[in-house]
Amino acid sequence: MSASQAERAQALRALHRPGSPLVLPNAWDVASARRFAEQGASALATTSAGVANSLGWPDGEKIPAREMFAAVARIAAAVALPVTADLEAGYGLAAKELVERVIGSGCVGLNLEDGDHARGRGALVDAERQAERVAALKQAGRDAGVDLVLNARVDTYLGGGLVGAERVAETIRRGRLYLEAGADCIYPITAHDEGEIAAIVEGVGRAPVNVMALPTAPTLARLAAIGVARVTFGSLLLRRALDAATSALADYSKR
């Protein structure tokens, strides 16, 4: 298993090409993962909010780690594609144990956010300490034989008082630290202004940057033009699926 996981990790990493964005659907269960695979996805991500909500838990590391890992393992086993797991801030697990659980789930990558759940939405952990955690996770993966694809989420756009140029500068500072520590991609979640995204891409040396496919974000063509490498959806696809189901039910009830 480890050998094939190592190959899938490398395949996923190779899909991160600045200027040719990897469109990575976020699955929340086996059914959604299989549907996205059937539609031609080259790789899949999971959504922590979607997985948690589907199992009756709110977002924000409220779901027990064992339930999250069981869910992402079912998703990874259901498709013949590289799967990267959204694991929030890592559920308080030490780097070695977190990596062991990721590899044990069959996934080949993970999201790791730098938000401080203990202090609330918009609060950030110390960037230097987060970089040390990124480095430890990358080394633990290599030691285990699977160089996991680490997408370092930067939560500067979720509140906390940073705005405008100051927010862009702090996003770049954190992104550089995480990339220097070994992160494969950085993810300034909810950044949607084209000029700010372009500044971040340039500020981190045109390393892989992940953008969320918000309705207010630039088009895929524009994201490609400014050098973005990865586009994900978070829980947006789940929300649209629920909206469609609710609409279908309402339409039927009106007949």
Hey, is 209 helix, strand or coil? strand
The answer for residues whose C-beta is within 8 angstroms of residue 70's C-beta and 6 or more apart is none
Tell me what pLDDT residue 3 has. 56
- State pLDDT tens for residues 104-147: 999 999 999 999 988 877 789 999 999 999 999 999 999 999 99
Tell me what pLDDT residue 119 has. 83
Domain at 44, CATH number? 3.20.20.60
Is a pLDDT exceeding 80 seen at residue 94? yes
Q: How far is CA 6 from CA 10, 125, 162, in A?
A: 6, 30, 38
Please, what is the end-to-end C-alpha distance for the chain in angstroms? 52
pLDDT averaged over every residue in the chain: 96
- State pLDDT tens for residues 172-206: 999 999 999 999 999 999 999 999 999 999 999 99
Domain that holds residue 149: 2-253
Mean pLDDT of 224-246: 98
Is a pLDDT exceeding 60 seen at residue 25? yes
Is a pLDDT exceeding 80 seen at residue 1? no
Tell me what pLDDT residue 112 has. 98
Strand 26-27 and strand 44-46: the pairing is parallel
Tell me what pLDDT residue 37 has. 98
Tell me what pLDDT residue 117 has. 85
Mean pLDDT of 4-26: 97
The answer for residues whose C-beta is within 8 angstroms of residue 140's C-beta and 6 or more apart is 95, 96, 98, 99, 100
Tell me what pLDDT residue 97 has. 98
Please report, as a single letter, which amino acid is at residue 78.
A
**pTM, two decimal places:** 0.95
Task: Kindly give the residue spans of alpha helices, DSSP state H, lying in 39-163.
Answer: 48-54, 65-78, 95-104, 127-143
Number of domains making up the chain: 1
Q: How far is CA 38 from CA 8, 35, 41, 101, in A?
A: 18, 5, 7, 27
Residue owning tokens 């999201």: 111
